[in-house]
DNA sequence: ATGAAAGCGCTAACAA
DNA sequence: TTGTTAGCGCTTTCAT
């Protein structure tokens, strides 16, 4: 096997044309006679010629590659967004380089290596921290923020309608007769956690229920943090008949802790999660949760980014996708004899 | 902001040196006087110069980019391998382009676009189908097969010691007194499913238990397929006191189906899964499973691939990583009064 | 220690 | 319709 790759000029020589004509053929230009095209294509096939993508990027000044920076690549949410974005990108002839940034410093290094180096033409920033002093988005490069609010005048964004989602979950629990609703959040430095909490408070307010900050516990999205939050709540003698958890893993951890304390779900405490992760319906009890079309978020983000690349002057777009409440077994009507002033752990 | 990026020549002009000297500075060559270096670095900082990665790739003939083709990017197993590989690749100065190939045709297109176009220098093929007539690995390009056996004389591979894992799970159940052990596999066209099943059969044989093909059900890795497999087994009146499922999702589906049939887990049927996925310990009952260090598999795969790129003549390496049995609540000793000849569905 | 010249493989602009 | 000439921004000889 010939290790030296065949170039456009060798094809040209073989076909008896100039290298430019070969270029026209591989770029599907109309300005080539059918006969010439035929000969060039034959030469290409015979030599097994493949255009060199880097040389094309160089000559065109366009790499047809996007960058995606996420906190990690394994969380189902991030992985799904990336999968959606990758699929959509490829439909448009783009590739996606996905990297995980463990911290803001890492994020900045990656922006430099991927964007400033012009290796990629646009950036998908998944769930960046809101503190813009620690993470620097590149100026002058198309950027789509996913899962958080845009933080400047240039960036586009795609996210859920988080506040509305928070309201929906809370309203649902209120409609089931719950008035003491604990709230287990993700890291409050993340936009989505803040927005979901805002929705939670709005729903309480709308129902005339006083917001009780002692019922709010911050977590880190892990089941362990949900478990711990409920332990703390119970230790403090908190009084609640329902829990709204900001993701399904927190919900699952919370349910475990409730069980360990001898509380029944949903008999004594109802639990609502968020995400509708793949096995949400296989937990015991099956999780009531807010479903987001996470693959779609990734697709839309990639679509927006490619539009931004191809139409530079375009004003920033901000997409908000809806969520859907999926009612399963982890939530139920509040027990009427179980008053809001009795601590459920003593039932 | 100047949209036209600053080049090496502008830096050179500003520093009063040739562009080549700037090149030496950014490539950390020794052959530059401290004084010149200083001036160049000042000019770089002042102009905000960033080397163009594509031009460097072009000039060097090396893109420092790897390709990773996976069936999808969302399965926890694939996502973890990719995360591990990406992290390791970056430690070595490489980026990773990850794509999902929905079918073998897609796989071949991607190989062409990513490898043959010389956009990437090596390939990580996750769990490719064993049928090598449908998926064409590139010749002459460093390749590491992950999660399957190497299919040619050139490719490297990283995978679990699947057969041994299958034996371990089965031996464990046998040691708990089970003799009628059903086996729920993944798609049998995948190497790992075959190998795990081989281990299962070996363990039975070693224990003098006849292999009963009616106890083996093929699935597609989904919880639904596990659920369905158990339904079929029960409908057929199959006789078993334990199940070895080839992944945790299948196990979870199986447990659901057993419950629906009124069977207790692990009271009447023990279940062992595979993977130790993140919430395995949060299911009811917590899953007994085989844990694999999946992030490590990704790291090793990337390490091997980069070695293969940097030392072309290197003979193919084949790494096999161990698994670990994690005993939790879904498995228990076989009920002595629950004979091997009674159908558990009638208990 | 530094600079000049020659490409890497391709596309784009202009000629013919 | 086709060919010629210049680069793209950098690295790599080879001089000096």
C1'-nearest nucleotide to the CA of B40: C2
Mean pLDDT of A255-276: 97
DSSP 3-state of B300: helix
Q: For position B344, what pLDDT does the model report? A: 43
Provide, in whole angstroms, the distance separating residue A20's CA from nucleotide C16's C1': 15
Contact A80 B86 (CB under 8 A): no
Report the distance separating Cα B243 and Cα B250, nearest Å.
Answer: 10
> Under 8 Å CB-to-CB from B49, ≥6 apart: which residues?
B6, B7, B8, B10, B11, B43
Mean pLDDT of A225-246: 97
Contact B97 A99 (CB under 8 A): no
Does the pLDDT value for residue A135 go beyond 80? no
Give the residue on A whose Cα is nearest the Cα of B80: A74
Q: How confident is the model at residue A136 (pLDDT cuts 50, 70, 90)?
A: confident
In this complex, the answer to whether residue B20 has its CB under 7 A from any atom of chain D, a nucleic strand, is: yes
C1'-nearest nucleotide to the CA of B57: D10
C1'-nearest nucleotide to the CA of B20: C3
Using an 8 Å CB-CB cutoff, list chain A residues near B90. Answer: 99
Report the distance separating Cα B226 and Cα B250, nearest Å.
Answer: 4
Nearest to B70 by CA among B96, B105, B107, B95: B107
Least confident of A331-345, B83-97, B276-290: A331-345
Determine the distance in angstroms separating the CA of B86 from the nearest CA of chain A, rounded to an integer. Answer: 7
Q: For position B28, what pLDDT does the model report? A: 79
DSSP 3-state of B80: helix
pLDDT tens digits, one per residue of A285-318: 999 999 999 999 999 999 999 999 999 888 999 9
Provide, in whole angstroms, the distance separating residue B52's CA from nucleotide D9's C1': 7
DSSP 3-state of B282: helix
Determine the distance in angstroms separating the CA of B206 from the nearest CA of chain A, rounded to an integer. Answer: 35
Residue that wins the pLDDT comparison between A100 and B152: A100
Q: Which residues touch strand C (CB under 7 A)?
A: A 5, 7-9, 19-20, 23, 26-27, 49, 51-52, 55-56, 58-60; B 16-18, 20-21, 24, 30-33, 35-37, 58-59, 61
Strand partners, B245: B184
Question: Nearest CA to the C1' of C9 belongs to which residue?
Answer: A55
Quote the mean pLDDT of chain A.
92
Report the distance separating Cα B216 and Cα A87, nearest Å.
Answer: 35
**Given B1, B100, B256, which is nearest A139 (Cβ)?**
B1
Q: Which helix (H) or strand (E) holds B18?
A: none
Contact B52 A117 (CB under 8 A): yes
Q: Is B95 left (phi over 0), alpha (psi -120 to 50) or beta?
A: beta
Nearest to A17 by CA among A45, A38, A2: A38
Contact A96 B97 (CB under 8 A): yes
> Under 8 Å CB-to-CB from B212, ≥6 apart: which residues?
B180
Q: Is A147 left (phi over 0), alpha (psi -120 to 50) or beta?
A: left
pLDDT tens digits, one per residue of B222-259: 999 999 999 999 999 999 999 999 999 999 999 999 99
Residue B21 in tokens: 């000297």
> Under 8 Å CB-to-CB from A100, ≥6 apart: which residues?
A69, A70, A71, A72, A73, B83, B86, B87
Q: What percent of chain B has pLDDT over 90?
A: 83
Mean pLDDT of A114-122: 95
Alpha carbons within 13 angstroms on the beta-carbon side of residue B28 total 0
**Given B50, B54, B116, which is nearest A58 (Cβ)?**
B54
pLDDT tens digits, one per residue of B321-340: 999 999 999 999 998 654 44
Determine the distance in angstroms separating the CA of B341 from the nearest CA of chain A, rounded to an integer. Answer: 30
**Given B1, B83, B139, which is nearest A140 (Cβ)?**
B1
Report the distance separating Cα B219 and Cα B203, nearest Å.
Answer: 21
Provide, in whole angstroms, the distance separating residue B66's CA from nucleotide C3's C1': 36
3-state SS, chain A, equals: CCCCCCCHHHHHHHHCCCHHHHHHHHCCCCCCCHHHHHHHHHHHHHHCCCCCHHHHHHHHCCCCEEEEEECCCCCHHHHHHHHHHHHHHHHCCCEEEEEECCCHHHHHHHHHHHHHCCCCCCEEEECCCCCCCCCCCCCCCCEEEECCCCCCCCCEEEEECHHHHHHHHHHHHHHCCCCCEEEEECCCCCHHHHHHHHHHHHHHHHCCCCCCHHHEEECCCCHHHHHHHHHHHHHCCCCCCEEEECCHHHHHHHHHHHHHCCCCCCCCCEEEEEECCCCHHHCCCCCEEEEECHHHHHHHHHHHHHHHHHCCCCCCCEEEECEEEECCCCCCCCCCCCCCCCCHHHC
Nearest to A296 by CA among A274, A269, A325, A319: A319
Mean pLDDT of B187-209: 96
State the helix-helix crossing angle for B19-26 and B34-47, rounded to 10 degrees.
90
Give the residue on A whose Cα is nearest the Cα of B253: A282
Which positions of chain D lie under 7 Å from any protein Cβ?
1-5, 7-13
Length of chain B: 347
pLDDT tens digits, one per residue of B73-129: 999 999 999 999 999 999 999 999 999 999 889 999 999 999 999 999 999 999 887
Does the pLDDT value for residue A31 go beyond 90? no
Report the distance separating Cα B273 and Cα B290, nearest Å.
Answer: 6
Residue A328 in tokens: 């399963």
Nearest to A90 by CA among B73, B105, B113: B113
Q: Which residue has the tokens 């908000």?
A: A320
Q: Is A260 left (phi over 0), alpha (psi -120 to 50) or beta?
A: alpha
Contact A71, A101 (CB under 8 A): yes
Contact A97 B97 (CB under 8 A): yes
Contact B297, B81 (CB under 8 A): yes
* CB contact burial A226-249 (16+ within 10 A = b; e otherwise): bbbbbbebbeeebbbbbbbbbbbb
Provide, in whole angstroms, the distance separating residue B136's CA from nucleotide D4's C1': 40
In this complex, the answer to whether residue A53 has its CB under 7 A from any atom of chain D, a nucleic strand, is: no
Mean pLDDT of B251-269: 97
Q: How confident is the model at residue B134 (pLDDT cuts 50, 70, 90)?
A: low
Contact A252 B284 (CB under 8 A): no
Does the pLDDT value for residue A1 go beyond 90? no
Q: How many Cβ atoms from other residues are within 10 Å of residue A260's Cβ?
A: 12
Residue B67 in tokens: 């390709």
Does the pLDDT value for residue B342 go beyond 60? no
Quote the mean pLDDT of chain B.
92
């Amino acid at each position: 096997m010939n290790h030296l790759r065949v170039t456009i000029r060798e094809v040209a020589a073989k076909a008896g044309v100039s290298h430019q004509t070969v270029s026209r053929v591989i770029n599907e230009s109309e300005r080539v006679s059918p006969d010439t095209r035929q000969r060039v294509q034959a030469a290409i096939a015979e030599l097994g010629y493949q255009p060199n993508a880097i040389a094309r990027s160089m000559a065109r000044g366009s790499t047809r590659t996007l960058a995606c920076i996420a906190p990690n690549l394994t969380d189902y949410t991030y992985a799904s967004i990336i999968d959606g974005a990758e699929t959509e990108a490829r439909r448009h002839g783009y590739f996606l380089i996905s990297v995980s940034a463990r911290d803001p410093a890492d994020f900045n290094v990656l922006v430099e290596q991927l964007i400033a180096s012009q290796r990629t033409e646009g950036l998908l920033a998944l769930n960046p921290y809101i503190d813009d002093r620690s993470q620097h988005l590149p100026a002058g490069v198309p950027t789509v923020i996913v899962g958080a609010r845009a933080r400047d005048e240039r960036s586009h964004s795609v996210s859920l309608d988080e506040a509305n989602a928070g309201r929906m979950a809370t309203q649902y629990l209120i409609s089931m007769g719950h008035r003491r609703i604990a709230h287990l959040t993700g890291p409050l430095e993340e936009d989505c956690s803040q927005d979901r909490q805002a929705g939670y408070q709005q729903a309480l307010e709308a129902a005339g229920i006083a917001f009780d900050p002692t019922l709010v516990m911050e977590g880190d999205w892990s089941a362990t943090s949900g478990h711990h939050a409920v332990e703390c709540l119970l230790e403090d003698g908190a009084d609640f008949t329902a829990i709204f958890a900001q993701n399904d893993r927190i919900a699952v951890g919370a349910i475990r802790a409730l069980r360990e304390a001898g509380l029944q779900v949903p008999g004594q405490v109802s639990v609502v999660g968020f995400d509708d992760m793949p096995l949400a319906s296989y937990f015991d009890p099956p999780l009531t949760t807010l479903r987001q079309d996470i693959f779609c978020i990734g697709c839309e983000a990639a679509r927006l980014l490619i539009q931004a690349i191809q139409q530079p002057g375009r004003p920033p777009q901000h997409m908000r996708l809806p969520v859907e409440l999926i009612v399963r077994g982890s939530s139920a009507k509040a027990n009427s004899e179980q008053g809001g002033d009795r601590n459920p752990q003593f039932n």
